[in-house]
Chain A
Amino acid sequence: MPAERLLPTDEARELLGLVADITDQELEPRASIDEAASQFPRKAFTVLGRAGLLGLPFSEEVGGGGQPYEVYLQVLEEIAYRWAAVGVGVSVHVMSCFPLDRFGSPAQRAELLPSLLAGDLLGAYCLSESHAGSDPAAMMTRATVAPGDPAAGDAADAGFRISGTKAWVTHGGVADFYTVFARTPSAASAGDTPAAKTADGGISCFLVDAGTSGLDFYPPEHKMGLTASPTTQIGFNDVPVPAARLVGARGQGLTIALTALDSGRLGIAAVAVGLAQRALDDAVAYAQERRTFGKAIIDHQGLGFLLADMAAAVESARATTLAAARRRDHGLPFSRQASIAKLVATDAAMKVTEDAVQVLGGAGYTRDHPAERYMREAKVMQIFEGTNQIQRLVISRHLARS
């Protein structure tokens, strides 16, 4: 029983119809094949991009689709229903555009956002490092200020040079632009002394083109799931970044990163709901066909109740996620609710996908059925964009402050 949606507008209904059409034809037939071959479906993203599905939650003035999160998240759900790795990819792309949209200057937004949202480019988000995942403030990647050329009469700084190694970058090596966080020297401590150049001024956010010199893309990690989506380390070897590509104020980077993650977590929650819905639908279809002891297994109460619990988990995860989205759409604080949604939805996806394997019995344990893949895909959702322990930390800190 596919999801029954309550959508706010006719426009949203037509959008969801378009998404079903495209994902049925472009994603559904390829998901299992490309996942098995660890093949990144770049062309699928181009098709989604041309249809306007990579910029949905951004305003129309900058080339976005002008959709509320309540609608955008349901699109993500439908994409992840056909192919979780693509759902994750769209969510990560949107998160990579978020800092520029929210914190960029009007000139930067006008110059850069339309091309990032036009659909041909794909973004990536470089926050984590090997030793700084849950604790991104411990990052060591550093941007130094490159002084302007005094001979040419440059009074202002020419820009920055980034050095360090980022880890776990979704779309590493296949993205067209990278939103990168790095430590910068304090803006106040100007001057030419080495100490002033390196005095810690916190973290800053930059936009780096994939073609920039000094970027070193490592081979993709060998992951348990989401194998079609490359996750890599990226070496930054004195990578030049013009001053105009600093997003927000110098030192504002950690705030930017955490603000982006609040919205990103809603995206991951929606992807988890889509994946869980798919596992449920596949399990129900199988349970209606498969017969033991003279009847369909869904008619054995012991199994029917398992399916009922799965349905309850999927629908409550969706409700929690959309409730958080509506707060965001209404301009209310939603950080705590986003963490709750991410925690609830990804835990639900883990439980539901595991139970889907159980419903399929021995068949569920083979790679001939996608149930085991769903289970492998669900696991990472409890880990990235803040592990579910970190979500609890966010929630409990909100409670302590209240």
Chain B
Amino acid sequence: MAKRVEATNVNAYYGSFKAIEDVNIVVEPKTVTALIGPSGCGKSTFLRSINRMHEVLPNARVEGTLTLDQENIYDKHVDVTAVRRLIGMVFQRPNPFPTMSIFDNVVAGLKLNGVNKKAVLQEAAEKSLRSANLWDEVKDRLDKPGAGLSGGQQQRLCIARTIAVEPQVVLMDEPCSALDPISTLAIEDLIFKLKDRFTIIIVTHNMQQAARVSDRTAFFSIERTGDPGRLIEYDDTQKIFSNPSVKKTEDYITGRFG
């Protein structure tokens, strides 16, 4: 169910601008890894490199090696859509398909995979919605538009949609930044629960959140604007938040910079 993600010397570019440089990181299966760091240091860029969403943008490219259980996802023989099915993604702003019902949103990925049997879809929808802690709230209105839910519910809907295709890894880019504290807690509970089945990498600006949900924390930073972002320190979350070995990490965590 869950796989190891390993990045070796990853560089990512937007045109000629190098956004991240020489990122090396190993993310173990069934753990939660938090990516933290000041704005513009390349957290989103790195996250999007992991499921090859970076290259969707015009002129954007990635160098280096990224492997999923030893398989290089950037190998030229690899089918990029297969990579994205194995590595799901939840975005910063909830983005359910506006023209689809709640049910259709959840099973959208399965339908893309060619699953069309009604019974199978129904079962998968219920399972995913239950996993996303949303089933009780929406079970009576599955045919209503997904965009009619509250922001927090929409985000859980997007999580349900992502896990419905049974990925190996789930990437989340500031999934709670558009949500209120209650919805944020609901999502954090959910992340904790999903850890049993998936490898989770989450970008967050919220230190408490990183400390609460993650096992490991990676701190990214940049020297000056215009410089590429680098991975400064990567360690157990406890260690990062209690006794970081790099001064810069400590400054950031204690709020003295960034």
Does A pair with B? no
| B interface with A by C-beta (< 8 Å) | none
